[in-house]
Structure 1
Amino acid sequence: MFFERPDAGETAILVHIDFQDENEREDSQEFLELVRSAGAEPATLLTGSRHRPDSRFFIGTGKLEELREALQVHGAELVIFNHALSPSQERNVEKTLKCRVLDRTGLILDIFAQRARTHEGKLQVELAQLEYMSTRLIRGWTHLERQAGGIGLRGPGETQLETDRRLLRARIKAIHKRLDKVRRQRDQNRRARERAEIPGVSLVGYTNAGKSTLFNAVTNSEVYAADQLFATLDPTLRRLELDDVGAVVLADTVGFIRHLPHKLVEAFRATLQEAAESSLLVHVIDAADPDRDLNIEQVEQVLAEIGADSVPVLQVMNKIDLLDSAPRIERDDEGMPTAVWLSAQDGRGLDLLHEALTDCLAEDIIDMTMTLAPEQGRLRAGLHRLGAVREEHFDDEGRTCLQVRLPRREFNQLMARLDERASDYLPASMRGSEDWEE
């Protein structure tokens, strides 16, 4: 945007290095999927192992020469590293090979830029790109000196690099300001849902775990879903009706990935805040992935980073169509659901997911018999409108006997509309002192 770099084609040479430190290791298969998701054509994958990265080129001089030969053989003009390079390492490799070099962070940012559809999503991606770019501006404009010159314009002026940095800082500040406005709007909508006591449920999980496919299956939506990394970038909210719970807001969120660039987590904090303030997180897991335990760990790390590690979690073991496994619900010692095994692709187990969501969210259900006098017809009609009446009959004195079952919050709202005291109708065992005192 602000500086010159070598042009790059679509054919790429990939570089993957294994380090002794497990925390530094990346997955080469996931790397290939990332590259394909970005639209590049992998020509070959160069692998190697080192104790630690080289401070100048990240890789050794021997591997650098091997990389030069691979570029000539395949006619490639792009090198992609499955690692985060420092600005100087990236610059040194580009200068030596005379080709474009991209690291893992830049690759993920490129995918995000392609996927962003909403105004908010584009702003978040641009912010992450500009902050990433700000450390790499020094590579360009070395051929320019001071801007100002000529009669009447002489003076120290400022270098093009300084101008670019100033423009970039101004743009970052402007984006932060606009995202703050988006964040305030989200907070306002969230508070409105809380006042209406509508639970929020967020789908989270490793990228390509099947969150969007599950979201579409549960809500009958048509959110874009594909067998590729980061198919979903922009969050989508849909209303879902659950028995004994009522309306629920279900959110489909961006997928996580190991070593997700910190700048992306920061840029998408407004979006991820939806998950942090949910009533329940549905952690969608690819049950057929051999690295599923590691993926679960990575998702939990990001949830902790955004402050969502204290939100209750229901695990969904997806893609059982790829396993010899039947749909089922796993429960803890208290009978609460902890995991649901299902297939979002063929629909097996979706009924069990509804059951598990209901059990997790319907913590306070009123199930009782009410006896209403003839003049209390408005209350009887209100209960019927809510679908809360299970049985109804009349006694010898003409009173209506109702067997009702509904969420406590709906009962509270109905009583408030009718200007009635809810405690007058509840048995003593159902009265919460903090809820019913005037």
Structure 2
Amino acid sequence: MTPLKEEALPAVTDTSHGAPYPDGDLLLLEDLLTDEEIERYHAARAFLQREVRPIATDYWNRAEFPFELLPRLAAQNLSGLNTSSHLLSGLIQMEFARADTSISTFFGVHHELVATAILDLGSDEQRRNLLPDLLALKKIGAFALTEPEHGSDISRSIGTTAERVGDEWVLNGAKRWIGNGTIADYVLVWAKDVSDNEIKGFLVEKDREGFRTQAIENKTAVRIVQNADIVLKDVRIPFTNWLPGTTSFRDTNVLLRNSRVWVSWQAVGQQFAAFDVAREYALKRHQFGKPIASFQIIQSQLSKMMANATMSLSLMIQMARLQDSGKLTMDQAALAKASCTDRMRESVALGRAMLGGNGISTDFEIAKIFADAEAIYSYEGSYEINSLLVGRAVTGISAFI
């Protein structure tokens, strides 16, 4: 592994330079947390900045996954299943993306989708047999919903089928863009039960006959994430591999709603990541005999980036309150996803431009941040789809056919 250039990896903890808000926290977030939560938040951020961020660019360049990180990552107990509030969980998700979006995505798919699905929708036997190794990252999970021809319309047009034959299910179909797909031990496959035409969830082990994965190559974003095309050809699984809490697509709503919120937290973390790099660069980069941070236009751009990040963060704090109260709706989650990713796109573009020519080299980190933002903008419902959900909520008229 080729070591990264030291000057290309400014650490967040070294960016104060006498500024009163060294971490960019103009909202005084810690006032919203208990002492125990502050300690957990600090520990999570320190670990992610120390263990994840320094290695991320090299693995991103090579499109490889750092398996050696998993035992150390598991030891931190960072899953939302182990946190005391949705705000703390969200802030940790934000810090994941602030350190690296790919590792954040890997962790979110594994914990927030697969492990949570088993916890909330699985059987007692599934929870007992699968969750310990999943939570310890000894086994990896993937969430297989989207298909080669169906993404936004998947709930209406899913092509993958499941047919009960005796004490087994037989699955046929194809999935695409499945995060962790090539490395997962268990893939949670969503398929239409041909007996009642309802979409249900099925756990498929990677070594099942007829189950094939193919890595998606030549990606320009989240390159560490091992996305896959998956083909299922007469894949037989035990009847007990069905998640009994999934009797229709409606049963996935809580999962997908909370996943949309998790990705919104990613968008906030991505904005702070871009700000961290851009501010440090502006303080170190000298032109015309002084740091470019002293020029009005640079300060204006940094101010805009910080405004976008803090407004997004304010929205997400309210999302966490709604989650804690049980009032969060899909419309609110869609508003968060659309709004935060829209501001994120502007912020990362400002940060990339601030580095000039260096901004297109991953040696200076911002190019990776800029590229990864496009993935966040697109997955868990595109900006357009989420905007239409909000439009339906405020007009009462659906723009969907």
Scaled to the shorter chain, the TM-score interval is under 0.3
More strand by share: 1
More helix by share: 2
Q: Could you tell me the TM-score, scaled by structure 1's length?
A: 0.22
Give the structure, 1 or 2, with the largest relative contact order (CA under 8 Å, sep 6 or more): 2
Q: Could you tell me the TM-score, scaled by structure 2's length?
A: 0.23
